[in-house]
Chains A and B, each alone.
Chain A
Amino acid sequence: MNIITIANRENSKYEVKGRKPLLDELRDQGVDLPYGCKYGGCITCAAKLLEGEVDQRAQVALNNRQINDGYVILCVARAKTDATFEIGVESHDKLYRNPFKDPLQPHELKADIAVPKDY
């Protein structure tokens, strides 16, 4: 059992058991969250992790920059500790980027094609 705090919903708190992904556990408790594909591939449900740890190994949507900026794909992620999130589009300030304005470095690509920084 972990406690999830939603920072941009007046620090409301929810208990999660870890049996289902965070999206389902939070929606079951009445948190209104966006979602799309429900298998970790489409980014619609991304939230920003401010504190704590999650297991989101099943996601395939985020590049390493987005992961380093704290983004979590709620439809497949489970909490490993108590955690604090910012949710919804208010949390998406760094999620989207114009690639012609702001290119990624080789280590910031998605995990399957990223080149380690010190390589």
Chain B
Amino acid sequence: MECCGPGYSSPADAMKAPREKLLYTIAIYTGTGIQKPDYLATVDVDPKSLTYSQVIHRLEMPGIGDELHHMGWNACSSCHGDSSMVRKYLLLPGVRSNNIHIIDTASDPSAPRLHKVIDGADIKSKANLSGPHTVHCLGSEIIISFLGDAKGEAPGGYLHLDKDFEIIGRWENSMGNIKFGYDFWYQPRHNVMVSSEWAAPNTFMPGFDLEEVGHLKYGRELHFWDFEKREPIETMYLGEDGLIPLEVKFHHDPDSTHGFCGAALSSNVIHWWKDDVGKWQWEKIIDVENEAHPEWPIPVPGVMSAILVSMDDKYLYLNNWLHGDMRQYDISDPHNPKLTGQVWMGGLLGKAPIVNGIAMAGGPQMFQLSLDGKRLYVTTSLFSTWDNQFYPEIRERGGVMVMIDCDPVNGGMKINKDFLVNFGEEPNGPSRCHEARYPGGDCTSDIWL
């Protein structure tokens, strides 16, 4: 389809897009002791530029204490056929403040500006939601998962915004028996959405009490939705194999029913697909073993807080935030993944305390892959209170962004020696970078109708 809407006609078309020259990452001061607003940083990723590998612009949010976290576009390839839409605005929810910041990245891509703020109190009063997380556009509209109600209790629900960022209300018709919310991804040709479970904001925001997992305060289920009816129709109980199932990704191929979820605490990858008789099935395909620490009574799990699927659906990337490694698996056969690359950066096991000359605080946490699959940008902070528990030195050192060169043909990963953005040296003091996005769309946003 030749058209002039945002995004690309297909994943294969997206892979041919020009190389990214800028990327956006949020950086937080919430929880660091520095009384400044969180901000959106523009990072120069054009190797020909004089400011390559540097923060070249900082857009501060209007207030302090937001805890910016994940982001999402107002439009993606799901509106490729709609010439009235433009990928112009990046939505930045504040997990703690509940405010949604709408950022105009198109008027001047290197210096984004604030377009609008949806007031967190307004969201509480109109939709009874708090703790925003994942943003996806749905054609011309937007839904955002929230992890709690206005009082921070689970399961929350989905905020529905129109294309002018006005609150329509709740998107879902029912939350069914869902206990918790977190991430979601939809695959419209199969009329399905899959959602995962972290915990209630009142549980995870103060920090991680491992003991609460046994008291069922954290999730262990995946939910399959009738996307058009906007209600959950099937739950998969993952049990001990799926403790704290976080990031949910379908194949980019819109015809595929295969998808994946990283269960953070179990540190497993769960794979699902629709079988020949039309029934959803799941299996565990990757299992990262806990590691004993010489001085601690409880073995340390990997904490697989994120996963990502390359645009050609060939590779799955995952992190182990507490162990300190990033891995690449060939998932050409999604039932039988093959480990094809691994690098170490930070972590609690002491395998790579220094990367490109910088003492690391934290481990690999969020990452974004270039559309062509060759460059993986990785940041080190998870969430302010959780950072403070596991990596207290991050207060003084801040977060970093590292680039890993990936071989999309033969497999393999290597930390790039010429790139590192040290958020420990920011003008207002050490901040912590988190999720990253490219102006032209990325491997964690675009969905095809």
A residues in contact (CB < 8 Å) with B:
32, 34-39, 41-44, 60-63, 88-90, 92, 95-101, 103-104, 106, 109-110, 113
Contacts and interface: CB of A to CB of B under 8 A. Distances in A.
Given A92-B388, A100-B298, A100-B300, A37 B97 contact: yes
Q: Most chain-B Cβ atoms within 10 A of its Cβ — which of A42, A63, A98?
A: A42
Contacts of B211: 99, 103-104, 106, 109
B295 interface: yes
A96 B298 contact: no
A41 B148 CA distance: 11
A100 B215 CA distance: 17
B209 A99 contact: yes
Contacts of B210: 99-100, 103
A91 to B, nearest CB: 10
Interface string B361-397: 0000000000000000000000011001110100100
13 contacts: A32-B35, A36-B96, A37-B130, A37-B205, A41-B202, A44-B67, A44-B96, A60-B152, A97-B389, A100-B293, A101-B295, A101-B296, A103-B210
Given A36-B30, A60-B202, A109-B215, A99 B208 contact: yes
Contacts of A35: 64-65
Contacts of A99: 208-211, 298, 389
Given A37-B152, A98-B390, A109-B212, 6 more contacts: A42-B96, A42-B206, A44-B65, A99-B208, A100-B299, A103-B210
A89 B392 CA distance: 11
B65 A36 contact: yes
Contact of A34 (B35, B130, B207, B215): B35
Contacts of B205: 36-37, 41-43, 61
Contacts of B152: 37, 39, 41-42, 60
A34 B298 contact: no
Nearest to B121: A38
B63 to A, nearest CB: 10
Contact of A110 (B212, B295, B300, B390): B212
B296 A100 contact: yes
Interface residues of B, number: 41
Contact of B207 (A39, A96, A103): A96
B201 interface: yes
A110 B205 CA distance: 13
B357 interface: no
A49 B390 CA distance: 24
B33 interface: yes
Interface string B192-227: 000000000110011111111001010000000000
A63 B151 CA distance: 18
Contacts of B298: 99-101, 103
A35 B33 CA distance: 10
A39 B151 contact: yes
A52 B130 CA distance: 33
Contact of B215 (A38, A95, A113): A113
B209 A43 contact: no
Contacts of A39: 151-152
Contacts of A101: 293, 295-298
A100 B293 CA distance: 9
A92 B395 CA distance: 12
B96 A37 contact: yes
B98 to A, nearest CB: 8
A44 B30 contact: yes
B444 interface: no
Contacts of B392: 96
B209 A36 contact: no
B31 interface: yes
A96 B385 contact: yes
A113 B216 CA distance: 10
Contacts of B395: 89
B94 to A, nearest CB: 9
A43 B205 CA distance: 7
A41 B385 contact: no
A89 B33 contact: yes
A103 B392 CA distance: 17
Interface string B73-108: 000000000000000000000001110000000000
A74 B206 CA distance: 14
B32 interface: yes
A98 B387 CA distance: 10
A10 to B, nearest CB: 18
B28 to A, nearest CB: 11
Given A36-B31, A96-B388, A103-B298, A41 B201 contact: yes
A63 B205 CA distance: 12
A37 B208 contact: no
Contact of B201 (A37, A89, A95, A109): A37
A44 B384 contact: yes
